[in-house]
Amino acid sequence: MSGEVRREQSRLNASRVAVALFWDQGLQQTSGEDIAARLGISVRTLWRHFRSKEATVEPVLSESMRWIADSFHRWPNELSIEEHLADHWGTYQPSTQQIDDDLAGMRVLTMAITEPQLRTGWLIVCAELEQQLIPTVAHRLSRAQDDLVVRVKAAAVAAAFRVAADDVAAQGVHESPADRHGRPPTQIPGRDTDAVAILAHVVRLAAPDLADPVVL
C-alpha cells in the first residue's frame, strides 16, 4: 500500500469516527481532542489530516457519493439514464461498510441543516462530483471536456443532485445500518427512498439532453 493510499485510508477512518461522535454527542460538544482520543492518535496528527474539526466529515461524504460518479462512468451510449441505473444497480450488492458509509453521509447532511459549519464540506464534495461528471457529459454530447456547455451541464446535474440530497436529508434519518438487511441496494440508508429514481429524475430535470440514448 502506497503512502498516499495509507493517508487516504487514515483520513477515511478518522472521518467515520468523527461523524459517529458528532451524531451521538453533537458537533459543538465534540472536540478535536475527543476525535483524536477515540482514534488513539495525537491531536497534532489529526490536524495534519484535516484543516478543521468540521472538515473531518469530507472523506465520509466523498465515500458515500462515490457510486454516483462510478455509475456515470459506466453509462453505455445505448441506454437511457433510467435503463442504465436499473441495470447497474440491479446487480449491485453493497458491503456492510458501504452501507455504513452511506448512512453516515446521510447523517452529515441531516446535521448540516442545523449546523451550517458542516455545509462547507458538503459543497466541496459536490464540487468534486461536478468535475467527475465532466468526462461522461462530454462523451454523451460529443464535445470537448473544457467546452462551456459540458461544464455547465455537469454543474447543473451536480447541483440538482445536491438539492435532492438536501431534500431527502431534511426528512431526517430513521434507521441504523442493521435495519437495511435484505433491502434493495438502491434504497438510501436512513430513508425509505429509492436513490436510482432520484438520480434519474434530477438528470432529466437538469440536463434532459443527456438522459436518453446517444445517437451515433
DSSP string spanning 23-57?
HHH-TTT--HHHHHHHHTS-HHHHHHH-SSSGGGG
Q: What is the pLDDT of residue 90?
A: 72
Q: What is the pLDDT of residue 181?
A: 60
Q: Which residues of the chain have pLDDT under 50?
A: none
Q: What is the pLDDT of residue 132?
A: 96
Q: What is the pLDDT of residue 108?
A: 95
Q: What is the pLDDT of residue 99?
A: 83
Q: What is the pLDDT of residue 168?
A: 86
Q: What is the pLDDT of residue 47?
A: 95
Instruction: Read off the amino acid at residue 31.
Output: S
Rounded distance, CA 57 to CA 104, Å?
9
* C-alpha dihedral, 161 to 167 to 169 to 175, nearest 10°: -110
Q: What is the pLDDT of residue 38?
A: 96
Q: What is the pLDDT of residue 5?
A: 84
Tell which residue, 120, 141, 122, has the closest CA to residue 207: 141
